[in-house]
Structure 1
Amino acid sequence: MSQSRKPSLSIVIPMYNEIDNVGPMIARVHEALAAYNGPWELLIVDDGSTDGTPQALNREAAIRGPHVRIVELRRNFGQTAAMQAGIDEAHGELIATLDGDLQNDPADIPRMIDHLIERDLDLLTGWRKNRKDDLVMRKIPSRIANRLIGKITGVRINDYGCSLKIYRASVIKQVRLYGEMHRFIPAWVAAVVPPSRIGEIEVNHNARVAGVSKYGISRTFRVILDLLSVYFFMRYKARPGHFFGMIGLSMGSIGSLLLVYLAFVKFILDEDIGSRPLFLIAVVFVIAALQFLTTGVMSELISRTYFESSRIQQYVIYKRDDGAETKTGWANADKDDTPNDSQAG
């Protein structure tokens, strides 16, 4: 890589009850970025910790300097909300995210930045190929989820669950994260940029040495439910009537065919159909079809009202005919206050 000045960088780390990892994490980040040739900031979001994590963070920030910024949430909102808060507050041209448990290695960040710049990517996600986690509780559910998410979303990533990612701020600030949607960030980004601008690279992964894991086998079921929402919003956010309409037309067609068959039985074969379960099934299908079609029309009205009232664009311009790159993002991205140059300390 050329030794030219690197883009400004914001490192976002959500933390929840990680008091034992506060000091080591901040030290590791400073060690990793000691030679970074550009301005950078460390932005740690405390997600309503109750074990003294906020106090430990503020003590470290006072020692390290103003480039270490602490954002404290009023209560525990969850990792997705904490990550979104950090992204909103970030000022860098590039944004790196990682977990606060030291299982992600901050030393991978400079290498990932070089890779993202060389390949001209908008998102580079880490791949924990040699993952140091429990096989049954973490690895197997994760592999199943990764394949399922890739198949449904069309964005083939080996490790959706890795929090170590590098984004261009102008791109990730166009994506809003809700619920527990941080697992599907590559899929959400693919709604803004083509999948060819999303890359993956092998990263280090360490076993947890302090604190308690916040994940369990139950999250597998939450992933499946969230995946349904991702599928719907990726394909039908701007045209929900198509989603409900396809279901309504399918059920209506089946119900209509059943009623035609029953009419043939009644009027041609002169058989009684009133006591047949098939008659009830046909009627239910037709009524359900009308409900789905009506829901589709109402969803279209709500969708159009939403887009008109919030003035959300249905497209994002990357370059105009004069070749100038378009500036996009949320309000924080347009601020003049950029991260301070920092020194490992």
Structure 2
Amino acid sequence: MSISLHSEESPFQLVPSVSNPEVSVVVPIRDEFESLPHLMEAIATSLKDAHLSYEIICVDDGSTDGSTDLLKQLAASRTDLCAIILRRNYGQTAAMAAGFSHARGRAVVTMDGDLQNDPADMPRLLAKLDEGFDLVSGWRKDRQDAALTRLLPSRIANWLIGQVTGVKLHDYGCSLKAYRSELVADMNLYGELHRFLPALAFIEGARITEMPVRHHARIYGRSKYGLWRTFRVMMDMLTIWFMQKFLTKPMHVFGLFGLASLVVGLAIGGHLTFIKLFLGASIGNRPLLILCIVLLLAGVQLFSFGLLAELLMRTYHESQGRPIYRVREVVKPGSHPEPNGLP
């Protein structure tokens, strides 16, 4: 029988003996000294009122404003907080990956540490998971940010990412999201891919939805983002597109371009051979000869890249024992389907 996150039979607990809490809240932190105490209390109040056992995992990503020491003090005085201190600033993706690796909850919630996300929205996201979704993404419908430097680039990026990945959400950049723990375990994060977690989840076969959440103006500190991140977002988007289309069949893309290059190169070579043998014209000073050679070499190289990519893909899956498929459930003969809800 499935156990819902919102079962009244699961009273709130705030003791270290909770080995498998219902919810793990992962919060990457960088220079949020003023926000930290308020954030911890807001998260605890929200989940306590919802009667959910929980843990808070704060990952300090190279703070320099005293947040590291404060986080250590809070972790020493609270029974619901685990502090992970990274050796230097690795970026939000690495910080979230560190938090995911330490999460023990049956559901995982992520949020920013600047108090712009509202912890009071967490129970609503978790309730949405109980409807059968694997990922519930927050949508900052009334976003409290600068229109020119934050809102406009974000809307353009959200539309473009939706077109490229096929996962059309209003707000990819919202950090407030709820996941089933098994989905988080299937996703490996690298680079700056935290912005594309819904797209990565889609590759894993996740059922995804979104819902409006509250968004507050920043009270403390300053934003760590700006227009400079646009280039990195574009590069990451291309990475996601490639993974989505060709992760398990890289030869399909490299081989296609390699074949096209070889065909065009051979066609040009045949044309030049005809001119040389039957018309007696000189071809040594023709640009087409150089183009022919370049295309033939490019075709061979692209095929070689495709073969190497195929070997790497097989090594990646086989060395880790990762199948190229994901099983949602197994219904055995004579069994009855389980209702939706976290197992």
* TM-score interval, normalised by the smaller of the two chains: 0.7 to 0.9
| Equivalent residue number for residue 110 of structure 1 | 123
In structure 1, how many angstroms separate the alpha carbons of the residues matched to 2:108 and 2:9? Answer: 16
Query: What is the 5 A alignment of 1:62-141?
Result: 62-63=76-77, 65-118=78-131, 120-141=132-153
Deviations 1:58-80 (A, max 9, x none): 333344x3112211112111111
- Paired residues in the alignment total 322
Question: Is the 8 Å Cα contact of residues 319 and 325 (structure 1) preserved in structure 2?
Answer: no
Query: Which fold has the larger relative contact order, with Cα–Cα distance below 8 Å and residues 6 or more apart in sequence?
Result: 1
Determine if the alignment matches structure 1 residue 175 to structure 2 residue 175.
Answer: no
Question: Is the 8 Å Cα contact of residues 128 and 205 (structure 1) preserved in structure 2?
Answer: yes
In structure 1, how many angstroms separate the alpha carbons of the residues matched to 2:106 and 2:336? Answer: 17
| Equivalent residue number for residue 212 of structure 2 | 202
- The one of 46, 51, 54 equivalent to 1:37 is 51
Q: CA deviation at 1:110?
A: 0.9
Determine if the alignment matches structure 1 residue 318 to structure 2 residue 328.
Answer: yes
SS of the aligned residue for 1:20 comes to coil
- The one of 242, 250, 253 equivalent to 1:243 is 253
Deviations 1:248-285 (A, max 9, x none): 11211222222233334444454333222122112211
Deviations 1:227-264 (A, max 9, x none): 12212222222222222111111211222222233334
| Equivalent residue number for residue 343 of structure 1 | none
* CA gap 1:94/1:314 in 2 versus in 1, 3 angstroms: same
Question: Is the 8 Å Cα contact of residues 11 and 43 (structure 1) preserved in structure 2?
Answer: yes
Query: What is the 5 A alignment of 1:275-290?
Result: 275-290=285-300
| Equivalent residue number for residue 21 of structure 1 | 35
Query: What is the 5 A alignment of 1:141-156?
Result: 141-156=153-168
| Equivalent residue number for residue 200 of structure 2 | 188
Deviations 1:295-340 (A, max 9, x none): 21122223223322222211222222316999xxxxxxxxxxxxxx
In structure 2, how many angstroms separate the alpha carbons of the residues matched to 1:169 and 1:308? Answer: 23
Task: Give the unaligned 5+ runs of structure 1.
Answer: 327-345
SS of the aligned residue for 2:175 comes to coil
* CA gap 1:316/1:249 in 2 versus in 1, 3 angstroms: same
* CA RMSD in angstroms, aligned pairs only: 2.1
In structure 1, how many angstroms separate the alpha carbons of the residues matched to 2:69 and 2:179? Answer: 29
Question: Is the 8 Å Cα contact of residues 173 and 195 (structure 2) preserved in structure 1?
Answer: yes
In structure 2, how many angstroms separate the alpha carbons of the residues matched to 1:281 and 1:56? Answer: 63
Deviations 1:39-72 (A, max 9, x none): 1111111112121102212333344x31122111
Deviations 1:9-68 (A, max 9, x none): 1111000111111112112212322311221111111112121102212333344x3112
Question: Is the 8 Å Cα contact of residues 12 and 98 (structure 1) preserved in structure 2?
Answer: yes
SS of the aligned residue for 2:187 comes to coil
